[in-house]
Amino acid sequence: MHTGWQQWNRKATFVLCVLTILGLIAALPIGATRWKMEKTSDKVQMVFDYRDLVQIAAYQAHPKQFVKDELVKMHAAGITAMAVFESSLQELSWAGRLSLYNSSSASELQGKTSAADENYTYVLFSSAKDEEALRPVLESTYKQWGITTSSWSHEGRGGLILETPLENAILKPMVPDPIALGEIHEAGFTIVPRLSDRVPFDAASVDAMLGGFEQMGVTRILFEGDAVKGFADNAELKSLNRFAELLNKHGIGIAAIENSKPQKGMNTLGYLTHYNVVRLYSLSDNDAASMKPEEIADRFQLAAKDRSIRMFYLNGAPSSSPVKSMITDPLENLYNAMQDKNGVLAKMDKLGFAVDSPQPFEYESPSWHKPLKAVVVLGAIAFITLLISAFVPGVAIPVFVLGVIGSAGLYVLSKSILEQGLALGAAISAPTLALIWAIRRVRAHTVGNRRPIGGAADATATRVAGGSDQQVRWFFPGISAGRRLLMAITIFATTSIISMSGIPFIVGLLNNITYKLVLEQFRGVSLLHLAPIALVALYLLLYTGESVFGNLRKLLKMQITVLWVGVAGVLGVMALYYLSRTGNAGQASSLELTFRNVLETTFGVRPRTKEFLLSHPLFFFGIFVALRYRAAWVLFIVGAIGQLSMVDTFAHIHTPLPISIIRDLLGLVLGALIGLVIIGVWQIGEGVWKRWAPRIAQLKQGFKSGV
């Protein structure tokens, strides 16, 4: 019975391998669809924050003229859009449209005694034109907030009294400044309104506002705050649905800001607008002022090429400079970054991007995707089953059956969780199984093949000459250096191919546009960065000795010393540092950033440093040395970092497929070349040691004899 079950499991393993290969093949056409989609958005837009421009102008001798002059400079520099926030009394005051007073200061202005119990806001318009444009806006806004308004005047200038304290009045948002919108539009800029969710949703007023935007050529809006417009009232009014209908009606899309907390309702609104969404990168005030023009240009280039960014938001705030004894701003620095010989415009042109209103990716999900995706799902389940079987032989059939049943149930509950879970499982399985295969190949050429659970070795390694019993199976002298090199190349290449077989499963399972736009993120990346390393280490500890249970027994009986505690602490710190460097949140030093820029300039695509400088070379070297010295097997754990990193590269779904493919291949080639250099140095060092070690031993013996 036991033998029959083993035979069934061996047959099942073959079937699982076939299913895995079929899943891999089925994912390729889905990946081709994504490749085609990634070429459909080739325009970028530079947007400046108009509020920042107004604030900078407030510190100039002639603010209005300054704004006009800078708008001309910006347009010439390639900044073709202006972000306009919802207005406030404070902003209108900065722009010189009106003056603000509280009850006390208004009484002083009029030469009157202030009222005993009054704390109102007094608004005085700067001109009749300002009053004509802004009075209806203010009256409508404060009526919506339940604040009574009335008229007043001073020296021929009209005004409004708002029956609320000034501190409260300036907090109320209103539609964007209509005068500023007109001036910006006339200056030839595209307007990018920034809307908040602070005002209760009113479909009629929103429709009128979007209609006005449409007439001025607005094609995309941004949101301010932690939620999209209409989110707060959605449960009661279904306002997100209504807002999406109005956006579609007026042909206006939205923008999602990179590296910020996802704004509430963005995913829903993206779906309802048929994903008329582009990704936006925001350059902070500090970066605009402190970064060199070439650094800004490099950052924008990487964002457009590697992260599918199509809108660039430029901030710029005034600051006090004691060194220069004046108020400074970053505008000139930004113009240089845009216009220099190797500036933003030149780099975008070289990448094939035109500076224009950005268009969303043309996404489609044809009907033939569904049956292919079903095959990919089965392939992923089979891949995960193979990994489990590598550690627990004899369970392939029940694990696969349970995987299929569980996946079917999870599909009903959450299709997204199912896809992400299987993609993560396949991404972990591929590099882990690849390293296990490599370990088995090296073991087969040295200590001989072993049964997965228990059993004695089929072959015994040679004892080191003159060594003790503790040195048995640690030295394998039978294979020449030339043959070991050829075997190392074959094992390294094959291991990498097996690892990369996990890539199509990520591409095939996570092909939704939501991942491309980062409206939805692939979870479990930290687990992907740790699991293969831990599993490979576990396999080396338990599955490469006389027996699994024997190895486990030895580990449990080991005495815990201060040294082991110290080693564990160091490994823990290294693991935390390793995790801190993964993902988009990882930080890099200025020296490393410079090195990255050199790589980017040299190769066009930057290979991952941890792959080509660390993991791939040491893994390649480790295979070569492990064919002679068993202690080198520990380098396979380091090799797991590079193998999983190749798969993880494709977990950054916002990165175009061609970039990710080139990045992986570059890392492999450069890593192999560096590994060859290390092997050469090792061979030289080993030869020197063999030549001089006996002489050194003789000298030591002579000294002892002399004594």
| Maximum average pLDDT range among 233-247, 312-326, 558-572 | 233-247
All CATH 3.20.20 domain ranges in the chain, comma separated = 43-86+176-355
- Tell me what the mean pLDDT of segment 159-175 comes to: 93
Q: Is the pLDDT of residue 592 over 70?
A: no
Report, as an integer, the average pLDDT of 332-360.
Answer: 95
State residue 190's pLDDT score.
Answer: 96
What band does 2 get if pLDDT is binned at 50, 70 and 90? low
Is the pLDDT at 318 greater than 70? The verdict is: yes
Which residue type, as a one-letter code, is found at position 361?
F
Tell me the CA distances in angstroms from 401 to 382, 398, 490, 666, one per residue in order. 10, 5, 35, 39
Alpha helices, DSSP H only, in 392-414?
Answer: 396-413
Q: What single-letter amino acid sits at 601?
A: T
Apex CA 413: angle with CA 407 and CA 418, to 5°? 40
Name the band, by pLDDT with cuts 50, 70 and 90, for residue 605. confident
For residue 689, the model assigns a pLDDT of 82
Residues 6+ apart with CB under 8 A from 624: 484, 485, 488, 675, 679, 682
Q: What is the pLDDT of residue 462?
A: 44
Which one, of 666, 612, 621, lies nearest residue 641 by Cα? 612
Given this model, what pLDDT does residue 191 score? 97
Q: Please, are residues 422 and 373 in contact by the beta-carbon 8 Å criterion? A: no
CB-facing half-sphere around the CA of 147: CA atoms within 13 A: 21
Q: Which residues contact 562 (CB under 8 A, 6 or more apart)?
A: none
Q: How far apart are CA 651 and CA 424, in angstroms?
A: 9
Dump the DSSP string for 436-503: HHHHHHHHHHTT----SSS---SS-PBPPTT--GGGTTSB---S-HHHHHHHHHHHHHHHHHHHHTTH
Q: Taking 50 as the threshold, does the pLDDT of residue 384 lie above it? A: yes
Amino acid 340: pLDDT: 92
pLDDT value of position 228: 96
**What pLDDT shows up at residue 563?**
60
Q: Please report which confidence band the pLDDT of residue 624 belongs to, taking 50, 70 and 90 as the band edges.
A: very high
What are the tens digits of pLDDT across the range 201-229? 989 989 999 999 999 999 999 999 999 99
Given a cut of 60, whether residue 1 has pLDDT beyond it is no
Residues 70, 115 contacting (CB under 8 angstroms): no
**What pLDDT, on the 0 to 100 scale, is given for residue 511?**
92
What pLDDT, on the 0 to 100 scale, is given for residue 460?
Answer: 40
Q: Taking residues 51-64, report their average pLDDT.
A: 91
Q: Is the pLDDT of residue 162 over 90?
A: yes
pLDDT of residue 591: 64
Question: 267 pLDDT exceeds 70?
Answer: yes
Give the pLDDT confidence of 455-466 residue by residue, as tens digits: 333 334 444 434
Q: What is the pLDDT of residues 660-703, one digit of tens each?
A: 999 999 999 999 999 999 999 999 998 888 787 677 666 666 66
43-86+176-355 CATH choice from 1.10.3470, 3.30.70, 3.20.20, 3.40.50: 3.20.20
How many whole angstroms separate alpha carbon 693 and alpha carbon 674? 28
How high is the mean pLDDT of the chain?
88
> Would the pLDDT of 393 be above 50?
yes
* Single-letter code of the amino acid located at 543: Y
**Among 53, 95, 61, 58, CA closest to 288:** 53
In the block, tokens 């996946």 appear at: 407
- The pLDDT value given to residue 630: 87
Residue 635: is its pLDDT beyond 70?
yes
pLDDT tens digits, residue range 109-157?
A: 988 887 778 999 999 999 999 999 999 999 988 988 899 999 999 999 9
The predicted pLDDT at position 447 comes to 79
Distance CA 196, CA 146 (A): 19
pTM for the predicted model, two decimal places: 0.85
Give strand ranges (E) for 8-97: 43-49, 81-85
Averaged pLDDT, 374-400 = 95
Residue 508 predicted with pLDDT over 50: yes
Share of the chain above pLDDT 90, in %: 69
